Chains A and B, each alone.
Chain A
C-alpha cells in the first residue's frame, strides 16, 4: 500500500498540483450534505478535480490498484448522501468538465459533460429553439447527474423519464465503453438501441457504482411556444385520482403534481407554511418572507379558506397551438366534471408554478429551493400506483403518530410518470423538520415506513437512498444476487462509490 503522501503525489502528477488535495478544509467541504442524519458526515481522503476522461482513467487505475474508494461528484449539488464518501477514498470533482459538446438541431440531441448544469443546458438549447426536459430541481443541478439518476421531468407524456440516448463510461478497470449507437464506429448519430441489451440502463439509477460516466447524449424537444399553468382543488381525493387517471390515459402531455394539503390553520410558523406550501407560496402575489408574523397569520387564514383539501397542478407545454388548445380544453373539462375547482387564478399567473420561472417553461427555476427553508429535507420517494395513494398516506400518518411525529407535518405528493402505465406515479412523503427535534423518532419512522411500503408493494425506490437499501436487498432475492455478480464483474475491488448500491 502506498503512503497517503505517495498517493497524493501520484494524483497530483495526473491532474496537477492544484487539482488534488488532502487539505483538511477541502475534505470537510465535501464531507456533508442535508441528509446527515441518515448518512453521517465523512471526509474523503482526497479530493481530485478532473478535467477529462483520461485523467479519470488514470485515477481509476490507481484506485483499483490500491483499492481506494472513488465517489464521482458532478456539480456539487450533493443530496441524500449519495456522494458522501462513507468509506473515505477519493472524491472525483467533475464540475470543470462542463462542456456542451454538441447540440444537434437535426437529431434534437445534446451531448454533454457531467458538470453541465440544467440552467446552462437550457440557455444553450434556447439558441436552437430547443429545450431539454425540465428537471424538478434547481437549475444549478447537474443536468447530467439528474438524467443519470432518472430525475423527474415536466415533459411530453410520450417521452417518459428516460432521455439518455448514449453514454461514455470509464470503467474501474480504466476501459472506456460507450452505450447505444455511440459504441459503433462510425455511427450515423445517437440512438439508444445500438444492438443487444440497452447497456445505458445498467449505469442509470446508481450513483457511479459501476463506473464514471463522462459523456452522455440526451434527447431535446422543441421549445414550447404555448404554456398553460393550472391548479385545481378537489374536496374528494377519490374523484381527483380518477380524473388524473383519465387525463393520463388520454395522453394529454402534462406531468402533473397532486397531493393533499395539511391543515393550514394548524401550521405553527412561517417556516412551516413556506416549507410545505413554499412551492406555491413563493410564487403567489404576496411575498410572505417580507411580511410580519401577524400578516403571515392572516394570510395563512385566507389561504386556508381558499385552498382545497386536495390539489392537482401542473402545466401543458406545446409548440402547436391547435393541439395545445384541445389539450387544455380537455384537461380542464375532465377536472371540472370530476368536481375540481379551477384555482389557477390564485397562482400568480406570471409567477408560474412549481419549478418554472415565470411563464417560461424552458427550465426549472429555483422555486423548489423554497422547500428547503427548514434546512433539512427528508423524504421517502418511491414509485407506486396512484390509485393506492390513500393507503400510502394513511400508513405514513399512522407511523408518524406512533413515533411522536406530527402526522400533518409532512406532505405526500405524487407526480405522474409518463408514459402512463400501471398508474405509475412518483410519490414522495416530504418531512420538513428540524431533525434535532426528534432524531431517533425520525429514524425509526423512516425504517418502519420503508418496511411497510415494501410490504404494501411499490414499484421501486426513486433512488438508492441509504435508508432504503438494506431492507430492499433482503427482498431482492435472485435479482439482487445477479446484480451483485454484475457489480463484481465490473468492479471486482468494489471501489466505485461503495455502500451506495448493492455493496
Chain B
C-alpha cells in the first residue's frame, strides 16, 4: 500500500490511548507497553501522535523533514503492541484487522514514504542497506562465512541435493559469534530427531526483513523474489528458522511478493514442539532451572506463536517456568527491533534493561527467548543492568534436556 491509502485509518484515531497500556487486569499492574512512548513521553512518540504525523504528511500539512520527524519515525521498534491493543476495541485497529494488516504495515509504509522523499532512513540504517546490497547480509560479513557454523553438523547442501527441511539460519545468528549456539543446538536437535535437513550455505541471503522495516521496499522485493526462487529450486517443502525476524518476514511479507503456498515456514520452537509431540525426540535429562520466557514480537504479536515455546519448556524435566507480568500479547519488547539497536542504541538499551528487570522480578535464573535480535539485546541489557540473570536460547535448553 502507499502511505496515502492509510489516510482513513490514520485520521480515525480517537486518541483514547488504549494502545499505550495493557489491560491491567491481565498483567496485574499498570505498566506501559510502548517502548518509544515510554522513553520520550510525548504524544509525538506514541501511536496516536504517529497517526497525526501520517495524516499530516498525506494531507500536505507536513512537508519538510526534520530531526524530530526522523526521531519520531525511527524510534519505533515496530513491536506491534499498539496495534494488538487497538484491534480489540477501537476504530483504527478494527479497521486494519479487517484489512488483514496491522499498524506495523502502516509504519513500514511511512518509512517507505520517508525514504522516497529522501527524509530517511537514518545513517546507521543506510549502512545496513549497503551491507545487504554488497554482502547479502545485514552485518557485512563475507559470503564465505555463511556456512561455517554448520561445518561437521551433518547439514546437506541444498544447492546440490535435496532434503525435507531447509534450515534458514538468518544473518544475525550467522555473523554474531556469540549466537552460534542457537544454530548448532538446532542442528543437534534435528540430528537427534533424524530430520532430513540442509542449508543453502553460501547462497543463503538476507530475508530482507530489515530492508522492509527500514523503508527500502525495492531492496526487500528484490531479495524476496530471489529467495523465493532459491527456495523453489531447492525443492524443499518446509523451512525452519531460528530467527523470529526471518520467520515473520517469510510468513507475513513474502506471500505479498510471490506465491509461497508450496512452502511451509515453521519457527524452530514450533518445529521442536512438533518433534516432541510426535515422539521423535524425548527429554531424558533434568534441567533444574527457574526460567522466564520472553516473547519475541516477530513470532508473538506478529504471528501468534505463544504456546509452542511454553509447551517445550513445560516438558523439560526440572524446569520451572515463571511468567513475567507482561507476557504473550502484552509483552514488553526487547528493544532491538526495526533497526533500533543499530540506529538508536540508547533507546534499545533502556528498553532491554526494563525487560531484564521484569525477568529478575520473577526470581528466574535464566531468561529464555527464541530470536537472535532479542538474544543480542537482552544479553547486552543483562550486562547493562548488572544483572545475575543468564540468557539462553530455547534450543539450548532443549539440547540440555535431550
Contact = CB atoms under 8 A, between A and B. Distances in A.
Interface string B1-28: 0000000100111111110110111000
A109 interface: no
Interface string B191-204: 00000000000000
Interface stretch (A29-37, A59-67, A394-402): A29-37
A373 B94 contact: yes
Contacts of A367: 89
Interface string B203-220: 000000000000000000
B91 A47 contact: no
A366 B20 CA distance: 12
B68 interface: yes
B69 A25 contact: yes
A24 B64 contact: yes
A49 B14 CA distance: 22
Contacts of B89: 282, 366-367, 369-370, 372-373
B259 interface: no
A367 B53 CA distance: 27
Contact of B68 (A26, A138, A289, A377): A26
Contact of A377 (B14, B48, B56): B14
Contacts of A34: 13-15
Nearest to B29: A123
Given A28-B52, A123-B29, A282-B89, A140 B16 contact: yes
Contacts of A282: 89
A308 B376 CA distance: 58
A372 B25 contact: no
Contacts of A77: 15-17
A203 interface: no
Interface stretch (B37-45, B174-182, B390-398): B37-45
B48 to A, nearest CB: 7
A369 B44 contact: no
A29 B44 contact: yes
B25 A358 contact: yes
Contact of B14 (A122, A358, A363, A372): A372
A357 B66 CA distance: 42
B18 A28 contact: no
Contacts of A9: none
Among A49, A274, A289, which residue has the most Cβ atoms of chain B within 10 A?
A: A289
Contact of A76 (B17, B18, B66, B92): B17
A93 B43 contact: yes
A368 B278 CA distance: 45
A124 B89 CA distance: 25
B131 interface: no
Contact of B72 (A25, A95, A289): A25
B62 A25 contact: yes
Contact of A30 (B43, B55, B94): B43
Contacts, number: 132
A375 interface: yes
Contact of B18 (A21, A120, A122, A138): A138
Nearest to A289: B94
Given A25-B68, A28-B61, A78-B15, A49 B42 contact: yes
Interface in B257-291: none
A29 B21 contact: no
Nearest to B56: A28
Interface in A436-488: none
Contacts of B90: 369-370, 372-373
A360 interface: yes
Interface in A310-360: 357-358, 360
A117 B21 contact: yes
B29 to A, nearest CB: 6
A12 B46 CA distance: 22
B91 A373 contact: yes
A34 B30 CA distance: 26
B97 interface: yes
Nearest to A120: B30
A122 B88 CA distance: 22
A239 interface: no
Interface string B279-314: 000000000000000000000000000000000000
Nearest to B68: A23
B16 A25 contact: no
B49 interface: yes
B24 A123 contact: yes
Nearest to A271: B94
Contacts of B16: 77, 138, 140, 369, 372
A123 B53 contact: no
Interface string A121-152: 01110000000000000111100000000000
Contact of A375 (B56, B68, B91): B91
A254 B55 CA distance: 42
A376 interface: yes
A49 B41 CA distance: 9
Contacts of A360: 25
Interface in B62-99: 62, 64, 66, 68-69, 72, 87-92, 94-95, 97-98
A365 interface: yes
A250 interface: no
Contacts of B8: 375
B14 A140 contact: no
A138 B17 contact: yes
A53 interface: no
Contact of A366 (B18, B41, B42): B18
A497 interface: no
Nearest to B21: A140
B95 to A, nearest CB: 8
26 contacts: A21-B68, A23-B68, A26-B42, A28-B53, A28-B56, A29-B49, A30-B43, A33-B14, A76-B15, A79-B14, A96-B41, A117-B21, A122-B24, A122-B30, A123-B24, A123-B30, A141-B17, A289-B98, A358-B25, A365-B23, A365-B25, A372-B91, A373-B90, A374-B91, A375-B12, A375-B14
Given A29-B42, A77-B17, A369-B89, 6 more contacts: A119-B21, A289-B87, A357-B25, A358-B25, A372-B91, A375-B12
Interface of A: 21, 23-26, 28-34, 47, 49, 75-79, 93, 95-96, 117, 119-120, 122-124, 138-141, 274, 282, 289, 357-358, 360, 363, 365-367, 369-370, 372-377
Interface of B: 8, 11-18, 20-21, 23-25, 29-30, 41-44, 46, 48-49, 52-53, 55-56, 61-62, 64, 66, 68-69, 72, 87-92, 94-95, 97-98
